[in-house]
Amino acid sequence: LTSDHVRIVEVGPRDGLQNEKKSISKETKIQLIERLANTGVTTIEAGSFVPAKWVPQMASTAEICEHLLTSPPLSQHAITYNYLVPNVRGLENLVKIMEGTGVPAESAGSASKPATTTEVSLFAAATEAFSKANTNCTVAESLERIKPIVALAKTKNIRVRGYVSVALGCPYEGPEVNPSKVADITATLLEMGADEVSVADTTGMGTAPRTMELLQTLKAAGIANTDLALHFHDTYGQALVNTIVSLEHGVRIFDSSVGGLGGCPYSKGATGNVATEDLIHTVHSLGMHTGINLEEMSRIGSWISEVLGRENASRAGKATLAR
Ligand code: HMG
Ligand code: MG
């Protein structure tokens, strides 16, 4: 990958759908993932192994995961499918499915099956109040909970992504989240063995100056841009501004959801992630590459918004289709 290549992590099927009140069928979710796999995107968050009583919409993850392992969507390139695991039990449930299908974490693929990688995401938060709401434990306890998950993932050769939520604002503690705290948690996750950490603006409260301050704090703490992803929710319409700041700083991995789907159950009023179509448009406008077909991504954003009966939140997606 060159320095002008931006890797987009498509989080729509997980972050985008987890907060939808109306139950979405497994078939629709699989169709969404299959269509995404054909856009050129290389990482797709496919679900969460969390208790159904915490996030009912993700209850079909086990079946979706089994389907993706046994019948991976046709695509021109290798795809990483990612699952959130909140505890060892979540990872064990994933491993059971992997071992049942006999598909390894890094599958080379064959003439009829594209290569796939299975990856997990663990999550911690930068504030105590959000940690309690999202994972029912303190920040320190959540880091303790994460240790054995990373250890088990490593023995199974599963790539690990970490998340640090509320890095630029907390629904309970306000916008002034301490960037040093974010850097400490990010460094701890990397030391524990995470392959990459996604720093998340859960509430969309981040501004350009505070994003810059956070990035400088992460850098001062020795965190390399290659180990870092940014995850912007677009609640205040600042996600692309903050993306530009991050691109200038050298970050090359960004999370987004098609059609700007989403919201967070524990962050009242938070809207979706930055729309993937908007992110692609911005990156391409800078002469940088994503490897993703904007037209096809725009068609998917329009289709899934219609299926969910919601407004398509991607401006670039709507404009692309109107051309
Ligand atoms: P808890 O209630 O303290 O856990 O939740 P527990 O161990 O007491 O278990 C509660 C029940 O769930 C028990 O069942 C367990 O057996 C069962 P019961 O006895 O009541 O019948 N259980 C499980 N079932 C299935 N799968 C499992 C599992 N574990 C326990 N893995 C827990 C603690 C961490 C589990 C909970 O707080 C949780 O799942 N939290 C995750 C919530 C979530 O998914 N949030 C959204 C994702 S994070 C996010 O969106 C942010 C992100 O996008 C970045 C950003 O924008 O900030 C990533
Ligand atoms: Mg999120």
As for the ipTM of the complex, it is 0.98
Alpha-helical regions (H) of the chain: 26-36, 61-70, 88-101, 128-135, 139-155, 179-192, 208-220, 239-249, 276-285, 294-308, 315-322
Residue 120 per-residue DSSP state: E
pLDDT tens string, the chain, 323 residues long: the values are 568 999 999 999 999 999 998 999 999 999 999 999 999 999 999 999 999 999 999 999 999 999 999 999 989 899 999 999 999 999 999 999 999 999 999 999 888 888 999 999 999 999 999 999 999 999 999 999 999 999 999 999 999 999 999 999 999 999 999 999 999 999 999 999 999 999 999 999 999 999 999 999 999 999 999 999 999 999 999 999 999 999 999 999 999 999 999 865 566 666 899 999 999 999 999 999 999 999 999 999 999 999 999 999 999 999 999 99
Q: Looking at ligand 1, which residue's alpha carbon is closest to its atom 30?
A: 51
| Whole-number Å distance between alpha carbons of 277 and 320 | 9
* Cα→Cα distances 54→19, 58, 136, Å: 11, 9, 11
Instruction: Give pLDDT tens digits for 71-111.
Output: 999 898 999 999 999 999 999 999 999 999 999 999 998 88
Does the C-beta of 82 come closer than 6 Å to ligand 1? Answer: no
Active site residue 264: yes
* Cα 247 to averaged position of ligand 1 atoms, centre (Å): 33
Residues 204 and 210 sit within 8 Å (Cβ to Cβ): no
